[in-house]
């Protein structure tokens, strides 16, 4: 949704305060950021029924924080989708870990639990599940797999704020969930991300990952507080500004209205939705329609496109890592047929 006087007032409020960021990268009362950050985190946690919410500067940063928080190590493997934004697959490489691609579901375009099971090895550490286009993944199956094999589940809900599976926000099914607030998502503050978790231990690790873990832990130890489970952590500066947080707070208030419109507009289409789920319709997607058919049966309120992205393992970085180009046949079939529609003007 576009901005209005509410966002302008929020920006002016921050500018008049003179505090554009109140974070410090050491252990102090400002480790948790300024008043806008702290208010956004509380409001986000309340809205998405999460125990903990941590603001950061992008969903990509949020995914890096998640992998850092679970202690990903060299030679670990992370099972990922080949049909999404590349960061889900590229970020494990920064830890010396290996992304392992599992195929997608033909009808829903999300990662396929049946193929995940085939890809699990003794080195598998986690699954990153992406709610692609706003469609929830099969979380009953994913949770069962993670419990059976002792894996962490990271939910990438960048395209799916408000999407639910069996009555719960999709991020509540994971150990960690990540949302995006960049320019073309449902709501945005320019650039930004939010990370949620039900675990207090993971929340601490996420926050340390976002804000100079090694320096903060050093200060804590100097003050007599030692946390054995975090003393080897390294963090970055992945902090959100007070300006971005103030805008995000106003945008969050509009999310339900935006979702109502997206879901109402879905009546023009026949997108298949997983049973028991609420889709957030970041994009409307089909493999059994042509652009011509869609234009002839709808209004001019939408943009249309054939194709999404090429399967990630076909991209240069992963070609150079010698991935089997035939390992995920469904995604290659879908990529040749998929048609996407989205709102021409932001609702």
pLDDT (0 to 100) of residue 226: 61
- What is the spatial distance between Cα 70 and Cα 261, in angstroms, rounded to a whole number? 37
- Mean pLDDT, residues 1-18: 93
Measure the CA–CA gap between 20 and 11, rounded to whole angstroms. Answer: 10
Report d(CA 260, CA 247) in Å as an integer. 21
Tens of pLDDT, residue by residue over 127-143, are: 999 999 999 999 999 99
Please give the DSSP secondary-structure letter assigned to residue 133: G
pLDDT digits (tens, 9 = 90+) for 261-292: 999 988 888 899 999 999 999 999 999 888 88
pLDDT for 296 equals 77
pLDDT score at 227: 62
Residue 220: per-residue pLDDT: 80
Residue whose entry in the numeric block shows the structure tokens 């992008």 = 58
The better pLDDT of the pair 29, 64 is held by 64
pLDDT of residue 319: 84
CB 55 within 8 A of CB 206: no
- Return the pLDDT at 253: 98
Give the ranges where the chain is alpha helix by DSSP (H).
5-17, 35-47, 59-69, 87-94, 113-119, 139-149, 200-210, 213-222, 242-265, 291-297, 316-319, 329-337
Q: What is the pLDDT of residue 232?
A: 79
Angle, CA 257 vertex, CA 4 and CA 130 arms, to 5°: 105
**Per-residue pLDDT at 224 exceeds 70:** no
User: pTM for the complete prediction?
Assistant: 0.96
Q: Over 70: is that where the pLDDT of 94 sits? A: yes
- Tens digits of residue pLDDT in 129-184: 999 999 999 999 999 999 999 999 999 999 999 999 999 999 999 999 999 999 88
Give the span between the Cα atoms of 337 and 334, in whole angstroms.
Answer: 5
Instruction: Give φ, ψ of 196 to 5 degrees.
Output: -125, 150
Per-residue pLDDT, averaged over 103-127, amounts to 97
- In this prediction, residue 301 carries a pLDDT of 75
pLDDT of residue 339: 94
Spatial contact of 235 and 209, defined as CB atoms under 8 Å apart:
yes
Q: What is the mean pLDDT of the chain?
A: 93
Tell me if 334 sits within 8 A of 308, measured CB to CB.
Answer: no
Does the pLDDT at position 336 exceed 60? yes
Read off the pLDDT of residues 275-334 as tens digits, 9 standing for 90 and up: 999 999 999 999 988 888 888 766 667 889 999 999 999 999 998 887 877 889 999 999
User: Tell me, which fold does domain 5-253 have in CATH?
Assistant: 3.40.640
- C-alpha dihedral sign at 219, 224, 230, 231: positive
Lowest mean pLDDT among 111-115, 211-215, 319-323: 319-323
pLDDT of 212 higher than 50: yes
Confidence of residue 347 (pLDDT cuts 50, 70, 90): very low
Look at residue 166 in the predicted model and tell me its pLDDT: 98
Q: How far is Cα 230 from Cα 162, in angstroms, rounded to an integer?
A: 32
pLDDT value at 113 more than 50: yes
């Amino acid at each position: 949704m576009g901005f209005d006087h509410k966002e302008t007032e929020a920006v002016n409020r921050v500018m008049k305060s003179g505090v554009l960021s109140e974070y410090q990268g050491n252990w102090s009362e400002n480790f948790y950021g300024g008043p806008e950050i702290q208010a956004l985190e509380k409001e986000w946690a309340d809205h998405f029924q999460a125990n903990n919410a941590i603001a950061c500067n992008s969903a990509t940063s949020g995914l890096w924080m998640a992998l850092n928080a679970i202690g990903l190590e060299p030679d670990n493997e992370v099972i990922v989708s080949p049909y999404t934004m590349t960061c889900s697959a590229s970020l494990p490489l920064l830890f010396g870990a290996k992304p392992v691609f599992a195929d997608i579901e033909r009808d829903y375009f999300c990662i396929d639990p049946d193929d995940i099971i085939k890809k699990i090895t003794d080195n598998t550490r986690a699954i990153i599940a992406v709610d692609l286009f706003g469609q929830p993944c099969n979380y009953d199956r994913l949770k069962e797999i993670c419990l059976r094999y002792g894996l962490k589940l990271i939910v990438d809900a960048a395209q799916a704020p408000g999407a639910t599976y069996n009555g719960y926000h999709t991020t509540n099914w994971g150990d960690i969930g990540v949302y995006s607030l960049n320019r073309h998502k449902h709501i945005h503050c320019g650039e930004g991300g939010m990370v949620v978790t039900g675990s207090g231990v993971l929340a601490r690790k996420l926050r340390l990952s976002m804000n100079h873990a090694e320096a903060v832990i050093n200060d804590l130890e100097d003050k007599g507080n030692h946390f054995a489970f975090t003393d080897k952590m390294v963090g970055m500066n992945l902090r959100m500004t007070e300006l971005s947080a103030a805008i995000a707070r106003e945008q969050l208030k509009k999310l339900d209205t935006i979702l109502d419109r997206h879901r109402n507009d879905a009546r023009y289409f026949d997108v298949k939705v997983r049973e028991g789920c609420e889709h957030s319709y970041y994009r409307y997607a089909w493999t059994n329609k042509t652009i011509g058919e869609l234009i002839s049966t709808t209004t001019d309120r939408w943009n249309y496109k054939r194709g999404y992205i090429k399967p990630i393992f076909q991209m240069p970085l992963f070609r150079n890592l010698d991935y089997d180009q035939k390992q995920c046949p469904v995604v290659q079939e879908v990529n040749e047929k998929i048609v996407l529609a989205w709102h021409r003007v932001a609702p």
